[in-house]
Chain A
Amino acid sequence: MAWQQAMGSHAAGGSQAPPAAGGGETQRTQYPYVTGTSVIALKYKDGVIMACDTGASYGSTLRYKSVERIKAVGKHSLIGASGEFSDFQEILRYLDELTLSDHMWDDGNSLGPKEIHSYLTRVMYNRRNKFDPLWNSLVLGGVKKGPKGDEKYLGMVNMIGTHFEENHVATGFGNHLAIPILRAEWREDMTFEEAVKLVEKCLLVLLYRDRSSINKFQIAKITTEGSTIYPPYSLKTYWGFSHFENPAQGAVGSW
């Protein structure tokens, strides 16, 4: 079949039976190809901080090592994505269109993080209703001046449209490994420096335990002054822990 030739049957592991999609029929995403791993984000004193690594994997192959998975949306928001990278790029095109048409009203109003998040949830839910999902978990953070002063916003939405707001969120592996750390150590009034320290702690745990994460991270922040996406950098690792050097030690069987 045409799509098999285009994709190369080896890409999906060969033996996988493809969906019944011949010429002229619509095709839907059945599973992701190039994926990014966890994104973590939290609110701090002045706004929202978001972080992730810059890798994108093709199955278990680390295919791209320097991709940006955090982007600014409009004036007040940041979006971070894990999951299928091409779907994320498609979402960025939707958001460009949205913010451009919003800008063209030229009425002094602009879409805040709440509105962008609401838009994203509808897009994700709609695509799942068409059985053609955008294979991502998205994190949306932002700050906007509201009637009650600066309003911080942090929300998440997944590929089937489950969405919620929280003080700290993490996608994928981060939900298992970073959330417990964030729950223990997060405070509403953290300074940016404290927030960076906490985020780096989470990233390091993920680097050690999530095999698809890489040691090239990006941190981004959004405050009332606007968004800043910092250039990628590495964390100092220590692999000399006795359990890293001899992981089988103490793991004695009962027979």
Chain B
Amino acid sequence: MGLAFHLFGLCRPKIRPILTQQSPQSAGRNRPSRTLFLQHKKIRRRTRLPRRAGAAFFKQSEPSPSPTALRKFASDFWDQTRERSKQTAPRAGRRRVNLGAQAMARFDPYENNGGTCVAVAGADYCVVAADTRLSVGYSILSRDHSKIAQLADKCVLASSGFQGDIKALQKNLAAKELVYEHNHNKKMSCPAMAQLLSNTLYYKRFFPYYAFNVLGGLDSQGKGCVFTYDAVGSYERTGYSAQGTGAALMMPVLDNQLKSPSPLLLPARDAVTPLSESEAVDLVKDVFASATERDIYTGDRLEIVVINSSGTHREYIELRKD
């Protein structure tokens, strides 16, 4: 006995009972003929009907569908499949839509308008700075657009990210500060504003403000404080911080120059920098001038706000415009 015969002999009894088997559902039905079975097989193959398609159709046809009915079923099956694929929502993300010959981008609610924010806290002062470039992609929209908002007399917020969200966030905080002022007959402290900002960001956790914030000011003891955030509200009090497109270029330089004590030390060491106010301002100017060399989203002009016991004052220096 050859292998082929052996296989045939083994397989054949297995196939045949399936064709002739009388299941409870098909009891009393006529047994499908071998020719009809082969015809069905051929039609299924030609119409590329998937193996499992039409189980229900086969069950309900009495005794067994005619080749014409099967062909009709296959064509209907594919029509429905096509229709279904049209109705499913397009995948999320930036997909190109063809409008005539013009390819249009799908709606994206965010854009990154770039820019960098830095804050440095000292023993009795805080420096908050940000560049004034507003860009999108390779275009510059404006060379003189402020990213800094004065939220209270000893509390200044600098934000980079999506300009629409930033303005909405800063207006929202300013409005809440005003309500606080009316309720408590005093300005909000910087640490209080820090917690409010965190809550405000987290409130929109699932449709976040695309804003990267640095909050600087003086705490209730008059000591400089800096709070640094991510877009959904986790925050930390530090001695200095950078956020935005140029942050990766500035942060290592600040780390090197300011050497903040480890937050793991016990008892906790003061995070404020040892620099004098003018030294801190000069450092901020230097890190911006440096980041402007390599970050295309940072440049044009630098806005510096210095907060100390005598109030706040603003100064501007020019940065590279290319």
Contacts and interface: CB of A to CB of B under 8 A. Distances in A.
A162 B97 contact: no
A31 to B, nearest CB: 5
| Chain A interface residue number, banded | 35 or more
Contacts of A179: 139
B167 interface: yes
Contact of B97 (A12, A129, A131, A175): A12
Contact of A61 (B100, B167, B207): B100
Contacts of B109: 128-129, 131, 133, 160
Interface in A145-175: 156, 159-166, 175
| Chain B interface residue number, banded | 20 to 34
B101 A59 contact: yes
Contacts of B134: 162, 164
Contacts of B90: 17, 19
Nearest to B145: A164
Contact of A59 (B87, B102, B136, B164): B102
Nearest to B140: A179
Interface of A: 1, 12-13, 15-20, 28-33, 58-61, 121, 125, 128-129, 131, 133, 156, 159-166, 175-176, 179
A162 B163 contact: yes
A20 B89 contact: yes
Contacts of B102: 59-60
A20 B106 contact: no
Contacts of A30: 97, 106-107
Contact of A163 (B85, B97, B101, B167): B167
B155 to A, nearest CB: 24
Contacts of A133: 107, 109
Interface in B60-119: 85-90, 97-102, 104, 106-111, 113
A71 to B, nearest CB: 23
B145 to A, nearest CB: 5
B99 A59 contact: yes
B99 A31 contact: yes
B168 interface: yes
A163 B87 contact: no
B142 interface: yes
A59 B168 CA distance: 33
B100 A59 contact: yes
A19 B142 contact: no
